[in-house]
Amino acid sequence: MSAPWVNTTEFSINPFSDSIPSFLSSEIRSSEDIFTLNFTADDGFIVYINGQEAGRYLMPTGDVNYNTLASTYANGNPDNGTLSLPISLFKRGANTIAVEVHNNSVSSSDIYFDAALIHKSFTSADANYVCETEEFIMPNSGDLELIACYEKLSEEELAKKEGELNERVTQIMMSIPNIIDDSVPIGKDDSENVEVQRYGEPVVPDFEVPYHTDIMALFDGIDKEAAGRVAGEGFYYLMGDIARLHSAVTAYARDFMIDKGFTYCIPPFMIRSNVVSGVMSFEEMDAMMYKIEGEDLYLIGTSEHTMIGRFIDQTLDGAKLPLTLTSYSPCFRKEKGSHGIEERGIYRVHQFEKQEMIVICKPEDHMEWYNKMWQYSVELFRSLEIPVRQLECCSGDLADLKVKSCDIEAWSPRQQKYFEVCSCSTLGDAQARRLNIKYKDEETGKTQLAYTLNNTVVAPPRMLIAFLENHLQADGSVYIPEVLRPYMGGIDKIVKK
C-alpha cells in the first residue's frame, strides 16, 4: 500500500542508475560525512535513526542541521529544502543503514528521497550498498517510510550471513508455543486440571500407612544416608527385595508394551544439544538437563528425548507409520524450579529409571494414538491392582510444545489423595518441525511433518510408592499381585527381615 504523501514513481529510483531525476541534486553535500535528503513538503517531517529522532524539516525553505532544531513545524505551500545528517547516524552494524521518516500529518505531501546520494555516500572501492524501501501506514501517528541500505556480500559472506539469520529465525520459532487442541480446558495452572474418570476403588486401610521410605526401611531396602555421602541429596541406594521389586516392575512394564505391539529399545543415555533443543523448550532444558562439561552432550531426562532424536533429519516411509516404540533408560534431572528435591523421600529425585512409550504417526492418527496410550497406562496400573484416575491438563499446565496432555494419577492410601505417575502427551508436529522429521505419503507422494507422542509406562520410584502403599498389609508384609509374581521368583509377598 502506498502512503498518500509519497510519490512512489519518483521515490522508487534505482540507486545504480546513471540517470538521476532532475528534481534531485547530484551533489553530495559538504563532505563524505554528510548525508543529504532533498524533498518538497508542506507540513515538515521528522527523521528517526534506530528509533531516535535525528532531525526535523521545519522551515518552508533552507537547510535544517541535526544540531539545530526549531520548535514549530512549517505550514503553507510546498517549498524545496534539504535536511543534512551525519552519515554515522545511519549505520546499523557493519553493513547496514536505515532511515525512518515520519510525516507530521496525513495530508498530501511529496517527500523525495535521494537514493542515488545514499548509494554514493556508502560506496567505496571495495564495498557496494543496495538501497531498498518499505512503506507502512501507521494509524494515529502519520505515515512511515523506511529506507534500508545494505552491503552486497561475496558468496562466502552471504553464506555466513544466511547462517546467522537462519539461526536467529530458528531461535524465534523455538520460542513460540504450540497451538493447543480445542478440547483442552482453559486454566491458570495445575490446580485447575480436570478429573475425567476414576478406575478402581480407592482403599483406606484400617491401619496407619507409614511414609514410603519407612516402608522400604522395614525390608532393609533403602539407604539414603549413604547415597547422600556419595552423591548428595536426590539420590538413593535400593537393596534386597525392594531393588528386586523395582526391577520386576520395569521388566513387567517392558513386556506389557511388547505385548501391545511396541518395539523394545535401549537408547543412548546422552544426546547432543541440537536434539535437546529439538525435543523441549528452553525453559524445560534449563530446569531439567545436566550438561557434560567440555562436550556437546547432555544426560537424558527421559528416553523420549533420545528416541525422538533418533529420527532427526529423516524422511520416513509413510507406509510404515505409525512407529510404536517402548524404551528403557535411566533418567537424570536437575529438578530446578518450584518443586525442587524431596529431602526425605524419593518422589522427586535427580536419578531414576523409566519405561517409556513413543509413537510417531501421521497427523490424522495422532488423537487415536493419544487415547490408546493413556489407556495403556490405566490398564497396566489396574493389572497391578492400583486405583488410578485420569486428569486432563489445563492450558496453564501444558509445556510449550504440547498440543494436549493428561496425567494418570495413582491413589495414595497414606495421603488419601491421588498423585502423578504417568504423563501422556501429543506434541503435534512441534518436535518434528524442530528436528526435521518428515514422512513421504505413500498415496500422494508428498512429504510432510510427522506427529510425535509420548507417555510414561512406569517410572520407579513413583510406581514403587504407589505399589508399596496400596499393597502394604496389616502385618507389615507387602502383597505381590499375580501378574508380577513371575518377575519376583514366584513369591506372593515380601516379608520383613
Q: Which residues of 460-488 are buried (b: 16+ CB within 10 A; e: fewer)?
A: bbbbbbbbbbbbbeeeebbebbeebeebb
Q: What is the pLDDT of residue 496?
A: 85
Q: Which residues of 404-438 are buried (b: 16+ CB within 10 A; e: fewer)?
A: bbbbbbbbbbbeeebeebbbbbbbbbbbbbbbebb
Catalytic residue among 135, 420, 477, 485: 420
Catalytic-residue membership of 420: yes
Question: Is the CB of residue 157 less than 8 Å from the CB of residue 165?
Answer: no
Share of the chain above pLDDT 70, in %: 67
Least confident of 44-53, 157-166, 297-306, 309-318: 44-53
What single letter denotes the amino acid at residue 474? Answer: A
**What is the pTM assigned to this prediction?**
0.69
Distance CA 362, CA 449 (A): 8
pLDDT tens digit sequence for 407-431: 999 999 999 999 999 999 999 999 9
Q: What is the pLDDT of residue 160?
A: 87
Residue 19 CB contacts under 8 Å (≥ 6 apart), including other chains = none
pLDDT tens digit sequence for 319-337: 999 999 999 999 999 876 5
pLDDT tens digit sequence for 462-479: 999 999 999 999 999 999
Average pLDDT of the chain is: 76
Q: Which of 113-127, 140-154, 258-272 has the highest mean pLDDT?
A: 258-272
Phi first, then psi: what are they for 64, rounded to 5°? -125, 115
Residue 380: CB atoms within 10 Å: 25
Burial level of 297, CB count in 10 A (0-12/13-18/19+)?
middle
pLDDT above 50 (res 268):
yes
Residue 95 CB contacts under 8 Å (≥ 6 apart), including other chains = 150, 151, 153
Q: What is the pLDDT of residue 8?
A: 24
Average of per-residue pLDDT across 80-84: 42
More confident residue, 335 or 11: 335
Catalytic-residue membership of 208: no
More confident residue, 37 or 296: 296
Catalytic-residue membership of 198: no
Q: What is the pLDDT of residue 280?
A: 83
Band the pLDDT of 155: cuts 50, 70, 90.
confident
pLDDT tens digit sequence for 384-401: 999 999 999 999 999 999
Catalytic-residue membership of 333: yes
pLDDT tens digit sequence for 193-243: 999 999 999 999 999 999 999 999 999 999 999 999 999 999 999 999 999
pLDDT above 90 (res 369):
yes
What single letter denotes the amino acid at residue 56? Answer: R
Least confident of 134-143, 166-175, 277-286, 330-339: 134-143
Q: What is the pLDDT of residue 36?
A: 42
Catalytic residue among 56, 405, 462, 469: 462
Strand 79-86: give its sheet, edge to edge: 34-41, 79-86, 62-65
Share of the chain above pLDDT 90, in %: 57
Q: What is the pLDDT of residue 398?
A: 93
pLDDT above 70 (res 442):
yes
Chain centroid to Cα 306, Å, comes to 17
Sign for the CA dihedral angle at 382, 386, 389, 395 comes to: negative
Catalytic-residue membership of 26: no
Q: Which residues of 120-138 are buried (b: 16+ CB within 10 A; e: fewer)?
A: bbbeeeeeebebebeeeee
More confident residue, 279 or 129: 279
pLDDT above 90 (res 94):
no
Q: What is the pLDDT of residue 76?
A: 30
Band the pLDDT of 61: cuts 50, 70, 90.
very low
Q: What is the pLDDT of residue 235?
A: 93
C-alpha distances (whole Å) from 439 to each of 323, 430, 453 are 11, 15, 16
Band the pLDDT of 161: cuts 50, 70, 90.
confident
Cell numbers describing residue 446: 508428498
Band the pLDDT of 84: cuts 50, 70, 90.
very low
Catalytic residue among 100, 423, 425, 469: 423
Phi-psi region of 294 (alpha: psi -120 to 50; beta: other; left: phi over 0): left
Average of per-residue pLDDT across 286-301: 91
Question: Is the CB of residue 44 less than 8 Å from the CB of residue 104?
Answer: yes
Q: What is the pLDDT of residue 53?
A: 53
Catalytic residue among 333, 414, 433, 434: 333
Distance CA 471, CA 247 (A): 17
Band the pLDDT of 164: cuts 50, 70, 90.
confident
Catalytic residue among 198, 244, 272, 348: 348
More confident residue, 81 or 173: 173
DSSP per-residue letters across 196-244 = EEEES-----SSPPPPHHHHHHHTT-EEHHHHHHHH-TT--EE-HHHHH
